[in-house]
A = this chain, B = another copy of it.
Amino acid sequence: MSLKNDIIIRAAQGQEVERTPVWVMRQAGRVLKEYRDVRAKAGSFKGLLFQPEYAAEVTIQPVDIYGVDAAILFSDILVIPEAMGLPYRMDEGRGPSFDKVIQSKEDVDLLTTDVTEQLKYVFDTIVLIKNELNNRVPLIGFAGAPWTIFCYMVEGKGSKTFSKARAMAMAQPELAHALLERITDASISYLKTQISLGCNLVQLFDSWAGVLNNDSYNQFSLPYLRKICDAIQEVPTTVFALGAYYSLKEIAALPCNTIGLDWHMDPRFARSLVGENKTLQGNLDPAILYGDFAFIQKKTNEMMSAFEGKRHIANLGHGVYPDIHPDKLKCFIDTVKEYQYSKQS
A77 adjacent to chain B (CB < 8 Å): no
A345 adjacent to chain B (CB < 8 Å): no
> Are B163 and A287 touching (Cβ within 8 A)?
yes
Docked Cα-Cα span, A287 to B168, in Å, equals: 9
> Are B245 and A246 touching (Cβ within 8 A)?
yes
Contacts of A295 in B (CB 8 A): 170
A291 adjacent to chain B (CB < 8 Å): yes
> Are B246 and A290 touching (Cβ within 8 A)?
no
Known contacts A163-B323, A290-B167, A323-B163; decide if A213 and B285 are in contact (CB<8 Å).
Answer: yes
Residues 314 to 338 of chain A near chain B (Cβ within 8 Å) = 317-318, 321, 323
A31 adjacent to chain B (CB < 8 Å): no
A161 adjacent to chain B (CB < 8 Å): yes
Docked Cα-Cα span, A288 to B213, in Å, equals: 11
User: Using an 8 Å CB-CB cutoff, how does the interface string of A119-162 with B read, 1 for contact, 0 for none?
Assistant: 00000000000000000000000000000000000000010110
A117 adjacent to chain B (CB < 8 Å): no
Contacts of A243 in B (CB 8 A): 210, 243, 264
A1 adjacent to chain B (CB < 8 Å): no
Residues 198 to 226 of chain A near chain B (Cβ within 8 Å) = 210, 212-216
Known contacts A163-B323, A245-B246, A321-B163; decide if A170 and B264 are in contact (CB<8 Å).
Answer: no
> Are A171 and B264 touching (Cβ within 8 A)?
no
> Are B287 and A167 touching (Cβ within 8 A)?
yes
Contacts of A288 in B (CB 8 A): 170
Contacts of A39 in B (CB 8 A): none
Docked Cα-Cα span, A188 to B265, in Å, equals: 32
Contacts of A68 in B (CB 8 A): none
Range class of the A interface residue count: 20 to 34
Which of A167, A286, A292 lies at the interface centre, i.e. has the most chain B CB atoms within 10 A of its CB?
A167
Q: Smallest distance from the beta carbon of A61 to chain B beta carbons, Å?
A: 22
> Are B323 and A285 touching (Cβ within 8 A)?
no
The 8 Å CB contact of A245, one of B161, B212, B245, is: B245
Known contacts A214-B266, A246-B245, A263-B213; decide if A290 and B170 are in contact (CB<8 Å).
Answer: yes
Q: Smallest distance from the beta carbon of A84 to chain B beta carbons, Å?
A: 24
Known contacts A171-B292, A245-B245, A264-B246; decide if A166 and B287 are in contact (CB<8 Å).
Answer: yes
User: Using an 8 Å CB-CB cutoff, how does the interface string of A230-274 with B read, 1 for contact, 0 for none?
Assistant: 000000000000010110000000000000000111100000000
A83 adjacent to chain B (CB < 8 Å): no
Docked Cα-Cα span, A244 to B266, in Å, equals: 13
> Are B161 and A216 touching (Cβ within 8 A)?
no
A169 adjacent to chain B (CB < 8 Å): yes
Instruction: Please name 28 pairs of A and B residues whose Cβ atoms are closer than 8 Å in the assembled complex, sorted by A.
Output: A160-B160, A163-B286, A163-B321, A166-B285, A166-B290, A167-B287, A167-B290, A170-B287, A170-B288, A170-B291, A171-B290, A171-B291, A210-B210, A210-B264, A212-B264, A213-B263, A213-B265, A214-B264, A214-B266, A215-B285, A216-B285, A216-B287, A243-B243, A243-B264, A245-B264, A246-B264, A246-B265, A246-B266
Chain A contacts to B: CB under 8 angstroms:
158, 160-161, 163, 166-167, 169-171, 210, 212-216, 243, 245-246, 263-266, 285-288, 290-292, 295, 317-318, 321, 323
